[in-house]
């Protein structure tokens, strides 16, 4: 899974990136010109327990790749979704928008004021405007295609243009793609445009070290504008410092400071929740591994995340919930107790399912 970290200049994007990836990317100067990329493992205590049970040769956690996208080099209110980074943004599975709430006179806000509600609106509009640019050009191209198309082809091109115009009007009315009511065929066609407003968004409020958590409700955010935003509140500066400590030392500091879960744990939890993700697990002496999928994905499609051949050759899935396997102690015992069951291709995979796929190769 790929998550693009975006935000206004001096919002603390790179500090958040460092907190999530245990990185040391340069955070001073405000004018970063390169993309920072980091991969982090998704913490999952179930993997640790299963590893003790099976003592496998390899343990593989699910991973998230974070991209820290540079903002505008100009002293403007907006980061700007620059064309040179559009491919990265289009390839992201979600956006993490860092919104500044901390007040530090030495870190000058580009608008010379701390206004998280306005900053968030600005970033959401930047994403929306980027899509409008794409659709403006698409309307023109389709108009030209209609003029040049054969009579038999014209109705299909006109239909495509109607779809684009409908979505464009929705964006002009301030409705992101993810909130527009579209048919499956319309959505299938729009995949070609890789529109940014169709992606889930998580808001990370970057607070002072001693501040209370900030929420959208605190800002009197109009949820009608976007009711599907994930949110998390953290002190990126403090979390990035703690992330570089040895694990035991970090845990002790968290207890001493009365802190809860790490920024990484918080952000991953809200990311999975906002994206509607779940993890199924595979176990054995060779490997214990977590696989992230959309919750409820049919078993045959889930098998394809391991290898496309697994989906094509799918016969059935042997499934046992994590709690039952750890209680039984083995798959064989689970089969004896009747909690290891066979499921067909349409079975909706649940979080914590331990699955063995039977395939025809």
Distance separating alpha carbons of residues 59 and 57, to the nearest angstrom: 7
Q: State the CB neighbour count (10 A cutoff) for residue 228.
A: 11
Distance separating alpha carbons of residues 219 and 231, to the nearest angstrom: 12
Burial profile 79-93: b = 16 or more Cβ within 10 angstroms, e = fewer: bbbeeebeeebeebb
In this prediction, residue 220 has a pLDDT band, given cuts at 50, 70 and 90, of confident
**Token digits of residue 27:** 């955070």
User: Which pLDDT does position 143 carry in this prediction?
Assistant: 93
Distance separating alpha carbons of residues 162 and 321, to the nearest angstrom: 47
What's the whole-number mean pLDDT along residues 51-78? 81
In this prediction, residue 78 has a pLDDT band, given cuts at 50, 70 and 90, of very low
pLDDT at 230 over 80: yes
In this structure, what is the dihedral angle of CA atoms 87, 90, 95, 100, given to the nearest 10 degrees?
40
Mean pLDDT of the chain: 90
Q: Which domains does the chain have, with CATH numbers?
A: 2-43+62-111+199-275 (3.40.50.300), 126-197 (1.10.150.300), 296-359 (3.10.20.30)
Where do the H-state alpha helices sit in 5-111? 13-21, 45-54, 86-91
User: Which pLDDT does position 240 carry in this prediction?
Assistant: 93
Check if the beta carbon of residue 5 is closer than 8 Å to that of residue 98.
yes
Encode pLDDT of 274-285 as tens digits. Answer: 999 999 999 999
Encode pLDDT of 96-109 as tens digits. Answer: 999 999 998 888 88
User: Which pLDDT does position 67 carry in this prediction?
Assistant: 94
What's the whole-number mean pLDDT along residues 103-127? 90
In this prediction, residue 31 has a pLDDT band, given cuts at 50, 70 and 90, of low
User: Which pLDDT does position 136 carry in this prediction?
Assistant: 95
**Predicted TM-score (pTM) above 0.85:** yes
Distance separating alpha carbons of residues 196 and 297, to the nearest angstrom: 23
* Residue with token string 């991969």: 39
Burial, 254: exposed, middle or buried (Cβ in 10 Å; 0-12, 13-18, 19+)? middle
């Amino acid at each position: 899974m790929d998550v693009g970290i975006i935000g206004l200049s001096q919002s603390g994007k790179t500090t958040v990136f460092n907190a999530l990836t245990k990185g040391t990317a340069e955070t001073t100067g405000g004018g970063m010109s390169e993309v920072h990329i980091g991969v982090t493992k998704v913490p999952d205590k179930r993997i640790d327990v299963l590893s003790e049970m099976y003592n496998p040769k390899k343990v593989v956690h699910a991973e998230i790749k974070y991209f820290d996208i540079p903002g505008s080099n100009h002293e403007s209110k907006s980061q700007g979704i620059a064309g040179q980074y559009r491919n990265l943004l289009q390839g992201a599975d979600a956006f993490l928008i860092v919104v500044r709430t901390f007040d530090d006179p030495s870190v000058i806000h580009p608008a010379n004021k701390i206004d998280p509600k306005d900053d968030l609106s600005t970033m959401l509009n930047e994403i929306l405007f980027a899509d409008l640019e794409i659709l403006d050009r698409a309307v023109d191209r389709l108009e030209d295609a209609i003029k040049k198309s054969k009579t038999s082809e014209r109705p299909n091109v006109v239909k495509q243009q109607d779809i684009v115009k409908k979505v464009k009007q929705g964006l002009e009315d301030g409705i992101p793609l993810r909130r527009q009511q579209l048919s499956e065929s319309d959505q299938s066609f729009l995949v070609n445009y890789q529109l940014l407003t169709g992606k889930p968004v998580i808001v990370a409020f970057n607070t002072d070290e001693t501040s209370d958590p900030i929420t959208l409700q605190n800002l009197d955010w109009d949820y009608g504008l976007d009711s599907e935003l994930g949110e998390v509140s953290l002190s990126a500066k403090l979390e990035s410092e703690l992330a570089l400590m040895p694990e035991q030392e970090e845990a002790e500091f968290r207890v001493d400071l009365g802190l809860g879960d790490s920024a990484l744990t918080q952000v991953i939890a809200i990311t999975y929740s906002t994206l509607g993700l779940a993890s199924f697990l595979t176990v054995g002496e060779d490997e214990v591994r977590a696989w992230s999928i959309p919750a409820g994905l049919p078993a045959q499609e889930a098998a394809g995340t391991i290898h496309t051949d697994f989906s094509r050759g799918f016969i059935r899935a042997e499934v046992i919930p994590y709690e039952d396997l750890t209680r039984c102690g083995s798959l064989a015992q689970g089969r004896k107790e009747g909690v290891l069951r066979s499921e067909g291709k349409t079975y909706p995979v649940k979080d914590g399912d331990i699955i063995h796929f039977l395939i025809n190769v």
